[in-house]
Chains A and B, each alone.
Chain A
Amino acid sequence: NAGVMQNPRHLVRRRGQEARLRCSPMKGHSHVYWYRQLPEEGLKFMVYLQKENIIDESGMPKERFSAEFPKEGPSILRIQQVVRGDSAAYFCASSQGQALSYNEQFFGPGTRLTVL
């Protein structure tokens, strides 16, 4: 059973370009979370999605960032017109879903975005 997959693992973009980060959840998981980790900091929650729905995007910057989790295919985190401050590691996690006990989130290996 493959774990959470993210690609690319490393992404380099010039200022003003678009970055697309992909996340394939674990098999059987229908909940996806995106986190951002700036250098020497902890992870910061960005967005929580289920298939075709954004459940909570309270951690997403209001502009240039968007996320989707279509019925088929991976979840996509899209950053338009990237700036140097977007350079970070972006982690995706997935879980089976809400229940009356904890739902462990399994993390992908992360995508390291560098904006030149």
Chain B
Amino acid sequence: AQKITQTQPGMFVQEKEAVTLDCTYDTSDPSYGLFWYKQPSSGEMIFLIYQGSYDQQNATEGRYSLNFQKARKSANLVISASQLGDSAMYFCAMSHVFANNDMRFGAGTRLTVKP
């Protein structure tokens, strides 16, 4: 069974510092994609970053980078130079390349950036 685990219900970070949000996953399918979404208090889901299981390099998108450790089945999100606007819920998700209908989400981590 596919499973996504986010073990940090809440995290605090000082403004301008970096923070790592943990995500581990479990799947027997070798072809999958890992996603991170941000959900601010307004409720919308904002796509942040994607990592494919066959990608050789860790994904980066601006201040977001994904620390992909395939053998450990972890896909941690690193946010550098935190901003107050980064305060939100963050969800890790996984889907399978040949079965796009089964995106599974973790329980989420609430990040609070302190001024």
Contacts and interface: CB of A to CB of B under 8 A. Distances in A.
Given A41-B107, A43-B91, A44-B105, A98 B100 contact: yes
A41 B4 CA distance: 13
Interface stretch (B14-22, B40-48, B62-70, B78-86): B40-48
A109 interface: yes
A100 interface: yes
A55 B102 CA distance: 11
B108 A105 contact: no
Contacts, number: 65
Nearest to B107: A42
Contacts of B35: 104
B97 interface: yes
Interface string B30-61: 00010101000001110100101000000000
Contact of A56 (B102, B107, B108): B102
B85 to A, nearest CB: 18
Interface string B81-115: 00000000001010101101111111110000000
Nearest to B92: A42
Interface of B is mostly: strand
Nearest to B110: A40
B44 A110 contact: yes
A33 B97 contact: no
Nearest to A57: B101
Contacts of A103: 95, 100
A112 interface: yes
A95 interface: yes
A107 B103 contact: no
Nearest to B97: A102
Contacts of A102: 33, 50, 52, 95, 97, 100
Contacts of B37: 107
